[in-house]
Amino acid sequence: MADPKSLLANEGASNPTTGASGTADAWWNIDWNKWLDHEHVGAHAGKVVGALAVLFGGWVLAGWVSRMTYRSLKIAKIDETLSRFLTKFAWWSVLVLAVVVCLGIFKVETTSFAAAIGAVGFAIGLAFQGALSNFSAGIMLLMFRPYKVGDVIVVGSQTGKVDEIDLLTTTLDTPDNRRILIPNASIFGNTIENTSFHLTRRVEITVGAGYAADIDQTYEVLMRSVCAVPGILSDPVPEVVLLELGNSSVNWSVRAWTTTADFGLVKQRTLRAVKLAMDQAGIEIPFPQMDVNLRGPATVSVSQPASSSNHKAA
């Protein structure tokens, strides 16, 4: 059998009008024959299969390592927020290691691309300034821990229970069961109110009584009503404080302490008890009003509208 190289050379020599194109076609054919060689294809097929096996094994190993990490942290009674962060970090670390092993199978030297990787990283950093600021804010939140998973916080105009603290966002569940994702940079640069940090909270209600009501009687009525509310703590003791003499009412502040978990329920009970007690005692809760006194006879002038005939004459 004739050698393909000699046949291609003879064809190019016998057909001088197609010399350049014929030679190019010959080289393309030679490259494809080389790549389609059984030994070459077999070697690359083995590498591909090995890389896929490494990726699959890395995926399985990452899941196992993340589960073991989470269980170990739970046994060690590590905070839930930090446990989830370390679990995700372990999962991604194993996957990155699997990718590096796959590059080694194909004999890709990652060290030779250090400069290119650095330049690409710089460009990505400029393009993702917002994401990087959220990432750094997430690290600061995990370090200083102003709140943790399960706390109820108020950030800006949003109130909710913390479900998860990620590297870029914090997930909140609102009281009406809405899911809100807030960027960490917006949280770290804002005022954070953690309403569930302490075990107890103070319920405070402001109520106004009419000027005709007796002050001592009003005090006794308010004190009895707040002390009878279920869920009120005896220590610290409830308080009834005279705040001010307002424009339309004598303003009082009813204060009592309860557990953080029962705060909303106890506040509703206290409002109801105060209103019912003042109604039963006949103490008026006035609304803002203004009395206008006219001294001397009042003169009211009414102007008549011009007649239609006058308008027509005009």
For residue 170, what is the domain's CATH number?
2.30.30.60
Helix (H, G, I), strand (E, B) or coil at 2: coil
In a domain, 123, yes or no: no
> CA angle, corner 167, sides to 165 and 172, nearest 5?
30
Shared domain check, 61 and 46: yes
Shared domain check, 93 and 48: yes
Last residue of a domain, one of 159, 174, 194: 194
Domain of residue 222 covers: 200-280
In a domain, 267, yes or no: yes
187 in Cβ contact with 139 (< 8 Å):
no
Shared domain check, 204 and 190: no
Last residue of a domain, one of 84, 108, 132: 108
What is the CA 199 to chain-centroid distance, rounded?
24
276: CATH: 3.30.70.100
Alpha-carbon span 194 to 11, nearest angstrom: 85
- DSSP per-residue string spanning 209-233: E-TTS-HHHHHHHHHHHHHTSTT--
Alpha-carbon span 147 to 192, nearest angstrom: 9
Burial class (CB in 10 A: 0-12, 13-18, 19+), 173: middle
DSSP-assigned letter for residue 203: E
Shared domain check, 164 and 219: no
What is the CA 160 to chain-centroid distance, rounded?
10
> CA angle, corner 311, sides to 307 and 314, nearest 5?
140
Shared domain check, 150 and 100: no
Shared domain check, 175 and 245: no
Shared domain check, 67 and 101: yes
Structure tokens at 40: 């070459």
In a domain, 99, yes or no: yes
Last residue of a domain, one of 81, 108, 135: 108
Shared domain check, 241 and 190: no
In a domain, 130, yes or no: no
Helix (H, G, I), strand (E, B) or coil at 274: helix
Nearest to 200 by CA among 251, 236, 225: 236
Alpha-carbon span 94 to 159, nearest angstrom: 36
Shared domain check, 221 and 156: no
Q: Left, alpha or beta for 296 (phi > 0: left; psi -120 to 50: alpha)?
A: left
Give the count of alpha carbons within 13 A of 303, CB side only. Answer: 2
Supply the pLDDT for residue 283.
92
Supply the pLDDT for residue 9.
46
Phi/psi for 239 (5° steps) reads -135, 145
Structure tokens at 281: 């005692």
Supply the pLDDT for residue 173.
95
Specify the number of domains making up the chain.
3
In a domain, 308, yes or no: no
Reply yes or no: is the peptide bond before residue 236 cis, omega within 30 of 0: yes
In a domain, 9, yes or no: no
DSSP-assigned letter for residue 29: H
pLDDT tens over the chain, length 314 residues: 444 444 344 444 444 444 444 444 544 444 555 555 555 556 666 777 777 888 888 888 888 888 888 888 777 767 677 777 778 888 888 887 888 777 777 766 656 555 656 666 666 666 666 777 887 888 888 888 899 999 999 998 899 999 988 878 899 999 999 999 999 999 988 899 999 999 999 999 999 999 999 999 999 999 999 999 999 999 899 999 999 998 889 999 999 999 999 999 999 999 999 999 999 999 998 887 777 777 766 565 666 665 555 544 44
In a domain, 258, yes or no: yes
